[in-house]
Chain A
Amino acid sequence: MLGLEGIAVPLGMILTVLSTLLCIIYGIKNWNKGYITEEEIAQEREWLQENNKVKENL
Chain B
Amino acid sequence: MSMPLLTTVVLVYLFIVGFLTIKAYRSTNNAADYMLAGREIHPFVMAMSYGATFISTSAIIGFGGAAAVFGMSLLWLTFLTIFVGIFIAFVFFGRRTRIMGLNINAHTFPEFLGIRFNSRGIQGLTGGLIFLAMPLYASVVLMGGAKFVAQILSTDYNAALFFLTIIIAIYVIMGGLKGVMYTDAFQGSIMFCGMLALLCITYYKLGGVIEAHEQLTSMKDIAIAIFGAKGHTGWTSFPTLGSPYWLVVVTTIILGVGIGVLAQPQLIVRFMTVKSNRELNRAVLIGGVFIMVAVGVAFVIGALSNVFFYYHDPATTGKIALLAADKNVAQIIPLYISHAMPQWFTAIFMVTLLSAAMSTLSSQFHAMGTSLGRDIYEKALGLSGNSVLITKIGILFAILISYFLAWGLPAFFEGGTAIIARGTAIFFGICAAAFLPMYFGAIYIPRMSKAGAYASFITGTLVSVFWIFFIHEKEAKPLMLCKTLFGVDSLASGTLWTLVDPLVIALPASIIATLIFSRMGSKLPQAHIKACFHNILYFKK
**By the criterion CB–CB under 8 Å, are B237 and A35 in contact?**
no
A12-B102 contact given A19-B83, A58-B386, CB 8 Å threshold:
no
Name the segment of B206-214, B355-363, B430-438, B507-515 touching the other chain. Answer: B206-214
What number of residue pairs across chains A and B have CB atoms under 8 A from each other?
143
**Among the listed B78, B95, B102, B286, which residue makes an inter-chain contact with A27, where contact means beta carbons less than 8 Å apart?**
B286
B91 at the interface (CB under 8 A from A): yes
For B541, the chain A residues whose CB sits under 8 A away are 33-34
**By the criterion CB–CB under 8 Å, are A3 and B236 in contact?**
yes
**By the criterion CB–CB under 8 Å, are B210 and A3 in contact?**
yes
For A15, the chain B residues whose CB sits under 8 A away are 76, 79, 83
A2-B87 contact given A23-B284, A27-B282, A33-B277, CB 8 Å threshold:
no
For B31, the chain A residues whose CB sits under 8 A away are 51, 55
**Among the listed A17, A20, A44, which residue makes an inter-chain contact with B39, where contact means beta carbons less than 8 Å apart?**
A44
A58-B72 contact given A23-B284, A23-B289, CB 8 Å threshold:
no
**By the criterion CB–CB under 8 Å, are A27 and B281 in contact?**
yes
**By the criterion CB–CB under 8 Å, are A2 and B238 in contact?**
no
**By the criterion CB–CB under 8 Å, are B75 and A6 in contact?**
no
A51-B72 contact given A5-B234, A31-B281, CB 8 Å threshold:
no
**By the criterion CB–CB under 8 Å, are A8 and B281 in contact?**
no
B287 at the interface (CB under 8 A from A): yes
Bound complex: CA of A53 vs CA of B103, how far in Å?
19
**Among the listed A8, A26, A51, which residue makes an inter-chain contact with B73, where contact means beta carbons less than 8 Å apart?**
A8
**Among the listed B210, B280, B288, B384, which residue makes an inter-chain contact with A20, where contact means beta carbons less than 8 Å apart?**
B288
Closest Cβ of chain A to B195, distance in Å, is 14
A5-B281 contact given A20-B289, A22-B87, CB 8 Å threshold:
no
**By the criterion CB–CB under 8 Å, are B281 and A34 in contact?**
yes
**By the criterion CB–CB under 8 Å, are A43 and B102 in contact?**
yes
Q: Nearest CB to that of A8 among chain B residues?
A: B238
B369 at the interface (CB under 8 A from A): no
Proximity string of chain A (1-38) to chain B, C-beta cutoff 8 Å, 1 when within and 0 when not: 01111101100110111011011101110111111110
**By the criterion CB–CB under 8 Å, are A3 and B214 in contact?**
yes
**By the criterion CB–CB under 8 Å, are B278 and A32 in contact?**
yes
For A47, the chain B residues whose CB sits under 8 A away are 32, 102, 105
For A31, the chain B residues whose CB sits under 8 A away are 278, 281-282, 285
A34-B105 contact given A4-B236, A16-B79, CB 8 Å threshold:
no
Closest Cβ of chain B to A45, distance in Å, is 11
**By the criterion CB–CB under 8 Å, are B30 and A48 in contact?**
yes
Bound complex: CA of A48 vs CA of B33, how far in Å?
10
B173 at the interface (CB under 8 A from A): no
Main secondary structure of the interface of A (DSSP, over half): helix
B4 at the interface (CB under 8 A from A): no
For B102, the chain A residues whose CB sits under 8 A away are 40, 43-44, 47
**By the criterion CB–CB under 8 Å, are A34 and B236 in contact?**
no
For B130, the chain A residues whose CB sits under 8 A away are none
For B280, the chain A residues whose CB sits under 8 A away are 34
A16-B72 contact given A23-B86, A26-B284, A27-B286, CB 8 Å threshold:
no
Proximity string of chain B (512-541) to chain A, C-beta cutoff 8 Å, 1 when within and 0 when not: 000000000000000000000001000001
**By the criterion CB–CB under 8 Å, are A52 and B277 in contact?**
no
B275 at the interface (CB under 8 A from A): yes
**By the criterion CB–CB under 8 Å, are A34 and B285 in contact?**
no
For B278, the chain A residues whose CB sits under 8 A away are 30-36
Closest Cβ of chain A to B169, distance in Å, is 25
**By the criterion CB–CB under 8 Å, are B105 and A13 in contact?**
no
Closest Cβ of chain A to B433, distance in Å, is 25
Proximity string of chain B (6-48) to chain A, C-beta cutoff 8 Å, 1 when within and 0 when not: 0000000000000000000000001110000001000000000
Q: Nearest CB to that of A35 among chain B residues?
A: B278
B243 at the interface (CB under 8 A from A): no
New contact pairs (9) apart from A15-B83, A54-B387, CB-CB < 8 Å: A3-B236, A5-B236, A8-B76, A8-B238, A16-B296, A27-B281, A30-B284, A34-B278, A55-B386
Q: What are 20 A-B contacts with C-beta separation under 8 Å?
A: A3-B210, A5-B236, A9-B75, A9-B238, A12-B75, A15-B83, A16-B75, A19-B82, A22-B288, A27-B282, A27-B284, A27-B285, A27-B288, A31-B281, A34-B280, A36-B276, A37-B276, A44-B102, A51-B31, A55-B30
